[in-house]
Amino acid sequence: MQKEIKNKNNSLLVSEVFYSIQGEGQTMGIPAVFLRLGGCNILCQSKHWVCDTIEVWRKSKATLFEDVLNEEQTMRIVQQNAHLVITGGEPLIHQIAIENYLEWFKSKYKVKPIIEVETNGTILATSYLTKVVDYWNCSPK
């Protein structure tokens, strides 16, 4: 069983946040705010291929919920219905923190974003995430 990375002080372990167009899965082409979390439970590597995000998610830092998204990114989600894509590394090693963040977001902005999670598929989602996540994009990355 994968050990959960602990959440401290209402924060997420954030590597980067950016606005773009979803390029994977059934929502390809949809505007999205990507929330890339740090860490991964596997290191995808062979002599011909290495994980394409390893350098990014290794540079993560604990970020307070209110500092995760800037004003423009929040507006794109709240007012323009851009999807919130939670990715990594492997975001599901942060499930408790993600749950807390989503509850905080919903309480602060009075809206539940359209949520996608990009996962490597090796960790089962909690029942809470199973209910609130709208789309799952599963691939070894």
Decide: 68 and 94 in contact? Cβ < 8 Å. Answer: no
Q: What is the pLDDT of residue 39?
A: 86
Residue 127 is inside which H or E element, if any?
helix 127-132
Decide: 67 and 101 in contact? Cβ < 8 Å. Answer: no
Tell me the whole-structure pTM to 2 decimals. 0.88
Q: What is the pLDDT of residue 3?
A: 44
Q: What is the pLDDT of residue 1?
A: 42
- pLDDT tens for 29-60 read 999 999 999 988 887 666 665 666 667 667 88
Q: What is the pLDDT of residue 47?
A: 61
Q: Whole-angstrom Cα distance, residue 39 to residue 83?
A: 22
Q: What is the pLDDT of residue 109?
A: 97
Tell me, what amino acid is at 40? C
Q: What is the pLDDT of residue 9?
A: 73
The residues of the chain scoring below 50 in pLDDT are 1-6
